[in-house]
Amino acid sequence: MAVVHQSCVGYGAEPFASLVADYPGDDVYPSADFRTEWGPVFHRGRLDGSARVLVLGQDPATHEAISRRILVGEAGQRVQGLLAKIGVHTAYAMVNVYLYSVFGQAAGSRHAKDAAIAAYRHRWLDALLVGTDVTAVVALGDLAATAYAAWARTQPATAGSLHLAAIRHPTYAEGFARASGKPLAETTASQLANWNDHLGDLAAHVTPEGPTDLTPYAATWGPTDLAPIPEVDLPPGAPAWWRDVDAWATRTGDDKQTKRATISVVVPKGARTWPAL
Ligand code: URA
């Protein structure tokens, strides 16, 4: 029997049709600080009212620039694993603080309070949170926590009814190890301890779609802690390896210009199923 594929149905219904029709460009997101040349990446997950959890990430990276959905690479697979623990497999929606990939670490903080960036983001958050079945928000990292707090001030009634899990960003450990010189093992253990701190409360505020497994994270990532991205989350025809844990998109180039202009996409070894050449 033919395989029946699932795919993201996109942005046909309002208010999402309008949101993707009039997104902010370089006038709001300066290209010195954002990789606007790769276009905006809007969301991942359910826009049909079936979401129970909203994940607020930071900004899209290489895998997201290619797949046109957010939180698809390593960070996304870690979040997917967290949601799986609380029994949520597809009943979520995800948006980022920024539509475009941040260029340079400091740029993210520099624009944390930009009114025009926030105004557009608030339209998405209103659409996904006000009068919907979402009961909990997972904010990934400090920028997401700040952005959520700014939105919450505009919608105090809705925000007051939502559980907020403001957890460390899924790639906090790598970033903090690089910045501080601390061993990655130490920063990873600290990140996972932080996620453990939030796991029980988060689970208590979300109706699961299936069984939960609230086994705490160990001090390091375990083999089942990352989960692949569901097929239904990606645009039609997306190759299966886009959803796998193996990385497949990296910025390459010998100088800054080339590196900003280039994302190399390589089919992971495990997905090279063609006959031997
Ligand atoms: N990819 C995203 O889309 N968001 C993040 O926060 C990290 C990676």
Residue 71, ligand 1, Cβ within 6 A = yes
* Pocket of ligand 1 contains residue 249 by CB under 6 Å: no
- Report the chain's terminal Cα–Cα distance, integer Å: 29
Q: Which atom of ligand 1 is nearest to the CA of 141?
A: 6
Q: Which of 59, 226, 251 has most ligand 1 atoms within 8 Å of its beta carbon, as the pocket-test mutant? A: 59
Specify the pLDDT at position 2: 86
Domains by residue range for the chain, with CATH? 36-226+233-266 (3.40.470)
Residue 51 and residue 133: Cα distance in Å, rounded?
Answer: 7
Q: Which percentage of the chain shows pLDDT scores above 70?
A: 100
- Ligand 1 near 62 CB (within 6 A): no
Pairing of strands 263-265, 53-57: unpaired
* Low pLDDT (below 50) residues in the chain: none
Give residue-wise pLDDT tens across range 16-33: 999 999 999 999 999 999
Tokens of 273: 């199923």
Distance between CA atoms of residues 196 and 268, nearest Å:
31
pLDDT tens profile 227-257: 999 999 999 999 999 998 889 999 999 999 9
Decide whether any atom of ligand 1 lies within 6 Å of the 139 Cβ: no
Closest C-alpha among 54, 171, 48, 52 to residue 108 = 171
Residue 276 is predicted with a pLDDT of 85
Q: From the CB of 58, is ligand 1 less than 6 Å away?
A: yes
Calculate what percentage of the chain has a pLDDT beyond 90: 96
**Residues 6 or more apart in contact with residue 156 via CB below 8 angstroms:** none
